[in-house]
């Protein structure tokens, strides 16, 4: 059974009451309802490490209907990105693409598509 949708206000309240984060410690909160994920960017990485150690990476969230969900807390990274390059001449090699994109991260795979 899927947990009920959580209003943004309840998420903000939970951040301050359960995680005990002060307003000036939080730079940004981004809610991705489709993925059931909330990203919280903190002012200082040290505070994040303290939060991870204190919570052991798990905190409970009590829904308005009384249901309790376990929330996983983890450090987010940039993740994987899919990049499409349109109108690239066929003379450009995969190696050139890899070298050019390497400054943004590791290139996992290159697929040729024909439109």
- Split at pLDDT 50, 70, 90, the class of 65 is confident
Residue 99 domain-assigned (yes or no): no
φ, ψ at 77 (rounded to 5°): -115, -175
How many Cβ atoms are within 10 Å of 57's Cβ, its own excluded?
Answer: 13
- Site of tokens 């409970």: 60
- Total domains in the chain come to 1
Express each pLDDT in 5-26 by its tens digit.
Answer: 788 898 899 999 999 999 999 9
Residue 115 lies in a domain: no
Is residue 95 in some structural domain?
A: no
Q: Is the pTM of the predicted complex or chain greater than 0.75?
A: no
Q: Does 67 map to a domain?
A: yes
Does residue 14 fall inside a structural domain?
yes
| Contact (CB, 8 A) for 76 and 57 | no
Which residues span the domain enclosing 17?
Answer: 8-72
């Amino acid at each position: 059974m899927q947990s009920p949708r959580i209003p943004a206000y309840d998420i903000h309240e939970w951040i301050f009451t359960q995680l005990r984060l002060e307003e000036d410690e939080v730079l940004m909160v981004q809610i991705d309802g489709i993925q059931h994920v909330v990203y919280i960017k903190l002012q200082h990485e040290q505070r994040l490490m303290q939060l991870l150690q204190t919570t052991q990476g798990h905190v409970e969230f009590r829904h308005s209907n009384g249901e309790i969900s376990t929330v996983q807390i983890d450090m987010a990274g940039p993740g994987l990105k899919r990049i499409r390059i349109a109108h690239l001449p066929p003379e450009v090699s995969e190696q050139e693409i890899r070298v050019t994109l390497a400054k943004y991260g590791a290139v996992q795979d290159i697929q040729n598509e024909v439109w």
